[in-house]
Amino acid sequence: MFRQRKHHIFFAAILLIVLTGCSCTGGIKQDPLPSWNEGAAKTNIIEFVQAVTDQSSPDYVPPAERIATFDNDGNLWAERPVYFQLIFAIDRVKQLAPQHPEWKTTQPFKAVLEDDMQALAASGEKGLLQLIMATHADMTENEFAAIVKQWLATARHPRFNRPYNELVYQPMLELLTYLRANEFKTYIVSGGGIEFMRPWTEEVYGIPPEQVVGSSIKTKFEIRDGVPVLVRLPEINFIDDKAGKPVGINQHIGRRPIAAFGNSDGDLQMLQWTAAGDGKRLMMLVHHTDAQREYAYDRDSHIGKLDKALDAAEQNGWTVVDMQNDWKVIFPAELK
């Protein structure tokens, strides 16, 4: 009698699982952001996504309008000791130097070849543009993409001794996946070069080339040896930084984001533009507070300065992620 009753209870439990859709783990929902500690930042993200995807919610947003934009440097991957694209340009100068003996006596190339970072910094924006033009132009877009991929395959970060595209933030990778699982379209909107990012963003972030917005140099169409090509010219076309970001979003995307994620004053206008739209919005800043696992910097930094945007976040109630306290891990390698 007791054994028969146990069987009835067992089959009743199985039927309950089938009818309710519970999993064998007790029906506990999987955490969509497992590398995030419990706290305001994680809660704000999940509550926002639930609100805009629930058709019964007054904050519901149709899938076509679920646009989320992400800065890249310092937001999706690291940006210290200097922006990784600048390190790429420095490495290219050293590689090309044998073909340009005049660089030994010409700034800012002389500073690069002598590893004189103070002299390089003293060359200012003009000097950096000279480096970019000398290392990013006078080739086809396919040739440039191949050079970027080769650099990523061989270059290593001076502190972490890992490829640069492994220094992406695991919590942000989870966020991208979570948003896309809820029918968001995710875009990169970065001050970095659009053609520098496009060769690898799909593999690393799941963001295809057509969803990358960035700074660009001019290109022109040519026929070379009977083959149509696009040639990169040593002329600036568009700077996708600060006030340029909303302009770039409008030109490339054509919809105002309902969520925007950044980490510096260069992202302030993108967050302001997002916040100015109708309906529920999510504006979020990553605050670099973890000197042990990554870097700690904000208001006085020359790289990724976070000053005015931090004040705006406090004044407007935007979400600020404290890297040290809100993230269980920083890089994917920490999961292995």
Q: Read off the pLDDT of residues 9-39 as tens digits, 9 standing for 90 and up.
A: 444 443 333 333 344 444 568 999 999 999 9
Is pLDDT of 148 > 50?
yes
Residue 221 host element (H or E): strand 212-224
Residue 295's CB: how many other CB atoms inside 10 A? 20
Would you state the CATH architecture of domain 40-79+166-335?
3-Layer(aba) Sandwich (3.40)
User: At residue 222, does pLDDT exceed 60?
Assistant: yes
- Say what the pLDDT of residue 27 is: 57
State the pLDDT at residue 6.
45
Digit-coded pLDDT (tens) for 253-311: 999 999 999 999 999 999 999 999 999 999 999 999 999 999 999 999 999 999 999 99
- Residue 200: C-alpha distances to residues 78, 196, 209, 220, 271 (Å): 15, 8, 9, 23, 25
**What pLDDT score does 16 carry?**
38
Q: What is the largest CA-CA distance in the chain?
A: 97
What tens digit of pLDDT does each residue of 101-121 get?
Answer: 999 999 999 999 999 989 998
- Amino acid at residue number 303: I
For the stretch 235-248, pLDDT in tens is: 999 999 999 999 99
Sign of CA dihedral 151, 157, 160, 165: negative
pLDDT at 125: 84
Q: Tell me the C-alpha distance between 36 and 18, whole Å.
A: 32
pTM: 0.91
